[in-house]
Chain A
Amino acid sequence: MSAQTASAGESAASGTVAAPQWEGKRRGGRLGNSFFVVLTRTAVGRALAPFFLFWVALYFLVAVPKTRRVSFDLARRVGRGESALGRLSFAFRHFYTYGAMLIERMALLGGGEELFEIEKHGEESIREGLEEGRGVLLLSSHLGNWEAMAQCLSCIDAPVTLVMYDGVQPQVKAALESLARERSFDVLYTDGGPVSAAGILSALRQGRIVGMMADRTLAGRGVKLPFLGGLADFSVGPYSIAAASRAPVVQVFAMRIASYRYAFHGFSMGVMEYRDRRRKDEDFERWGARYAERLEEFTRRYPHQWGNLYPFWGDSV
Chain B
Amino acid sequence: MMITILLMACITFFTRYLFLHRALPFKVGPKMQQFLSFSAPAVLTAIWVPIVFINDEGINLDWQNPYLSAAVVSVIVAYKTHNIYYTTLAGMGLFIILS
Q: Do A and B bind each other?
A: no
Residues of A within 8 A of B (CB): none
Residues of B within 8 A of A (CB): none
